[in-house]
Amino acid sequence: MLKIKIKNHHFYCLPGKALFWEEENTLMLADVHLGKDSHFRKNGIAIPKVSQNDLLRMRKLLENHQPNTMLILGDLFHSYSREEYEGFRELVEAFPDTQFRYVAGNHDALALKKEDCPKNLWFGKEWEQREFRFVHYITEKSSETFTFQGHIHPQVQVKLNRNQWYKFPALVIQEDRATLPAFGRFTGGYKVKLDKKKERAVVFSGEECFEL
C-alpha cells in the first residue's frame, strides 16, 4: 500500500480504489454506482451483476481494516434498485461498530428516509471531520477548507513503454482538494491532464498504487 501525506495527515492508497485515513481509522471511497448494471438489464442490455461484486469488495475492505468510520462521497447508487439497496443495508448492519457517513451525490436517485436507516448510517450533503470537508462535488472555484470529493471519476494516461500508453483510475491532489477515483467497476472515467506544477496524482493499476 502506498502511504501519502495531505495536510499533515497520512492516507494509505488501497489498490481497490479507496483510501484509509490513518489518524482517524477511516475508510473513504466514492462513486460506487450500485444499480447501474440493473438499469442496463432492465433496458434489454446484457450486463453482468457488477453491483454485487462491488458490495463484496466493500465488505472485504471493512473486514480487512475494521474502521471506526466509512465515508462514501456520493453516487453510492446510480438508479433505484431494491436489490442493491437491501444489499447495502445488510452491509451496514453487518458492521455495527463502524459509523457510515454517506454524502449524497447527483446520481443517488434513492432518497433514504431517516426512519429507514440503520442506527450507524448518517446521510447528508456534506461531512466535516478534523480540518477536512467531504462532499460529492465542489461547486466553488476554490475552497478555504481542504476538501475531498468524487463525481469526476478521474483517470490519467501513463506511458509504460516507448509506444504504449495506458489509462488508469487516479486520485488527483490539488492545493485545496483531492478527487477520488470511482470505486465502482462499471463507471467509466474522465481523462485528466495533470498540471504537474500544481497537481499530483496517485495511479491505481488494480494490484498496486504508485505516485506520478
For 155-180, what is the mean pLDDT? 90
- CB-hemisphere CA count at 13 Å for 34? 25
Q: What angle do CA 151, 36, 21 make, to 5 degrees?
A: 40
Sign of CA dihedral 63, 149, 183, 36: positive
Residues in the chain: 212
- Count of H-run helices and E-run strands, the chain: 3, 16
* Bridge partners of residue 179, in order along the sequence: 149, 172
Q: How far apart are CA 80 and CA 101, in angstroms?
A: 20
- CA Rg, the chain, in Å? 17
Nearest CA to 207 out of 9, 10, 13 is that of: 13
pLDDT at 162: 75
Q: Taking the model in full, what pTM does it have?
A: 0.89
Q: What's the rounded Cα separation, in Å, for the pair 75 and 54?
A: 13
User: Is pLDDT of 201 > 80?
Assistant: yes
Question: C-alpha angle with apex 62: 61 to 67, nearest 5 degrees?
Answer: 115
Q: In this structure, are residues 198 and 172 in contact, taking their beta carbons and an 8 Å threshold?
A: no
pLDDT value of position 126: 93
At 73, give phi and psi (nearest 5°): -95, 60
SS3 percent helix, strand, coil of the chain, rounded to 5, is 20, 35, 45
**Torsions phi, psi of 80, nearest 5?**
-65, 130
> Model confidence at 37, in pLDDT bands (50, 70, 90)?
low
Residue 104, C-alpha cell as written in the block: 449524497
How sure is the predictor about 39, in pLDDT bands with cuts at 50, 70 and 90?
low
Residues 146-168 have a mean pLDDT of 89
Instruction: Say if residue 121's pLDDT is above 70.
Output: yes
Tell me the pLDDT of the chain averaged across its residues. Answer: 87
Burial class (CB in 10 A: 0-12, 13-18, 19+), 82: exposed
- Is the pLDDT reported for residue 38 higher than 90? no
Per-residue confidence (pLDDT) for residue 166, from 0 to 100: 85
